[in-house]
Amino acid sequence: MSVIQAVGSFLMIAGTVLSVLAAWGVLDFPSALARMHAATKSASLGLGLIAVGAGLGAASWGLTGIGVLVAAFLFMTAPITGHLLGRAAYAAGQIDGLVHDGLAGEAPPKAQITVDTDRTLSPIRWIALVLVWVLLWRDLSAGTLLGGAVVASLIELIRRADQRRDVNLVGLVRFFANYAWLVVASNLRVAWEVITPNNDQIEEAIVAVPLQTRSVATALLVANAISYTPGSLSMELSADPWILYVHVLHFTSVEDVQESVSKLEVLAMRAISNPVPVDETSPPS
């Protein structure tokens, strides 16, 4: 067995352990949202690890590439399913036993995401699209590259940009480095919660967190990052003022939650710099 295959085996085992803990949490946790914290996030990370590990275990870079694609896909979709299911369960009145409910009272005005037809071209995005195409075909021939270039150009032409923004690569790397640590820590926390027999430490709450950013892209990055972290889940985003409603599994105090979200937000703001704010009339709160 080569070193690469050993790494693959390790990743697969780690992913399996996460998945088993997620399933145990789904069976054991006391409420629908707590179960979701265990399931959608831990299991997505688990499947991502298994997929990458399987590619390495098969000792094939092409298959590893597809594993990475699957992991990236799960990173983007798991928060969306968590958010939609959580919001639906709350709207349907299936959530009770909250220690603190920042969403109670009248429904907040929903954030309106305006889309104009300003078409901006970004070389980084174009290269990323070609890369995905090459990974999907597991082939680096001239024909594949040409096909990828055509498809990427078509997507770039028909997509609509919401606003001009620049991605700061160093900021993005720093964001994901910090974020990876957060994901590991919170997965360990939920894992501990699952293997300890009593669920005393679970104190569910919904906390309203005012956002400083007025950029849709930054808010999206923060909301997604929060939702991919087990133990916290974005429930709703309201405009005027911009408030993110976060459901947490281990509630200590409103300030603690707001502080940890703000840390993530500052990192995200450095990753995506926005020369033109969406709404200049309302000052940051």
Partner 1 sequence: MEVTITIVQALLAGAALLAIVRALRGPTLTDRMVALDLVLLLFAGGLAAQGARTGSAVFFPVLIVVALVAFASTVLVARFIEWRDTK
Give the interface with partner 1 as residue ranges (CB under 8 A). 1, 5, 8-9, 12-13, 15-17, 19-20, 22-24, 26-27, 32, 35-36, 39-40, 43-44, 46-47, 50-51, 53-55, 57-60, 62-63, 66-67, 69-70, 73-74, 77, 80-81, 84-85, 87-89, 91-94, 138
Instruction: Using the minimum distance from each CB to partner 1, give the nearer residue, 64 or 218.
Output: 64
Are 19 and 13 spatial neighbours (Cβ–Cβ below 8 Å)?
A: no
Residue (89 or 131) nearer to partner 1, CB: 89
Q: Based on CB atoms, which residue is closest to partner 1, 213 or 229?
A: 229
CB of 146 to partner 1, least distance (A): 22
**Least distance in Å: CB of 277 to partner 1?**
30
Min CB(44)–partner 1 separation in Å: 7
Q: Which is nearer to partner 1, 132 or 272 (CB)?
A: 132
Asked if 265 contacts 211 with a C-beta cutoff of 8 angstroms, the reply is yes
The set of residues, in sequence order, having a beta carbon less than 8 Å from that of 118 and lying 6+ positions away, is: 161, 163, 164
- Angstrom distances, CA of residue 277 to CA of 49, 237, 281: 37, 17, 10
DSSP secondary structure letter of residue 283:
P
- Residue ranges of E strands in the chain: 100-101, 166-167, 205-210, 232-238, 243-248, 272-273
Report how far Cα 71 is from the mean position of its chain's Cα atoms. Answer: 11
Q: Measure CA of the first residue to CA of the last residue in the chain; give whole Å.
A: 57
Report in angstroms how near the CB of residue 246 gets to partner 1 at its nearest. 18
β-pairing, 166-167 vs 232-238, is unpaired
Least spacing, CB of residue 1 vs partner 1, in Å = 6
Report the distance separating Cα 10 and Cα 146, nearest Å: 37
| CB nearer partner 1, residue 27 or residue 104 | 27
**Shortest CB 49 distance to partner 1, Å:** 9
Q: Sheet of 100-101: strands edge to edge?
A: 100-101, 205-210, 243-248, 232-238
Using the minimum distance from each CB to partner 1, give the nearer residue, 56 or 216.
56
β-pairing, 272-273 vs 166-167, is antiparallel
- CA 105 to CA 17: how far, in whole Å? 41
| Smallest distance from partner 1 to CB 67, Å | 7
Residue number with CB closer to partner 1 (29 or 175): 29
